[in-house]
Amino acid sequence: MTSPISHADVLRAMQRMRPKTDRARRQIAQLLGFEWKVAAAIRRRQPSRERVKRHDQTPHRPRSLRRGAAPAPEQAPPQPVSFTLSGPELAKPSPIALPTPLPDFSRPDVLVLEPAPLFVPRWTRAILSTALSSFTDAGGIDIVETVRLVAAGHALRRLPRRRVARMAPAAHVLVDAGGSMIPFLADQVRLTAELAQVVGGSAIEVLKFIGTPLRKAGRGPRGSWQPYAPPPASTAIVLISDLGLADTGLLEASASPAEWSRFLEWMQVRGCRVIALVPYGSRRWPLEIARLARLITWDRSTTVRQVRFKAP
């Protein structure tokens, strides 16, 4: 084990305390765990204290400049003091650790952590099935309502029936591929897989778009997209988009609420219900869009009860 005290600490202690004797220097070194050994000492030449006093009127000049004076002998340069310190070994500097290279994410054996889904996983299918369902008077006969109408003296032209939820027979999934939806790309893939399980693989069609589907939509590369063709009536249209709320302006211009309103009105005329999964809260939803589509907050705080309560 190396000592935290080095030779430099001993020299700093000598400079700070300024010991005058070798004994004091030796004691300081021993306190710090070292041994002080003097190899040689400096011999200083003591200058002569005899001064020649002259009382003449001639100005004083150095002896070396006076006429006939012998030159002063040259003093020998001081000899340096050499010493040795013996003590614990100094710690060797550790080599510089190089940074760990990033793993090769293209390899199949490298695990890549994806962000957590926005919907609670155990509630996702229930939320989607509830969102795709609508309540209609197609259930059994409502006995309570029938008795109430008869007791009030109303003529029963048709028997009242209970309201039941029925899921759409097919779904068009429109996935927003704009730059503002890049952080949600992994979750978009999960949602489309869950929707295929809920609706059925043969009853679902997934298309991508940028801006709104009014511009173009398709399955493959953007160059192969075509103008959007609406599905048959009673088909549910599921939008996975921010509806232009996060306008980055980096890749392309986002769609305005007026453009989205035109698309939603077109779907209403075609008899298709629109369900939009939006990754932002209801405070940011444009009113003109919220009146034309069923908007659902795409967030972990969303529950099945909240979706059912907002069902049409």
- CA 66-67-70 angle, 5° bins: 75
pLDDT at 250: 62
pLDDT digit string, tens, across residues 223-275: 999 999 999 988 999 999 999 888 766 667 778 999 999 999 999 999 999 99
Mind listing the pLDDT tens digit for each residue in 86-113? 555 555 555 655 566 655 555 665 555 6
Tokens standing for 42? Answer: 């400096």
Where in the sequence of the chain do the CATH 3.40.50 domains occur? 121-132+168-309
How far apart (Å, rounded) are the C-alpha atoms in residues 130 and 174? 18
**3-class secondary structure, 52:** coil
Question: What sign for the dihedral angle of Cα 210, 222, 218, 298?
Answer: negative
The pTM score is 0.58
Q: Which CATH architecture has domain 121-132+168-309?
A: 3-Layer(aba) Sandwich (3.40)
* Three-state SS at 271: coil
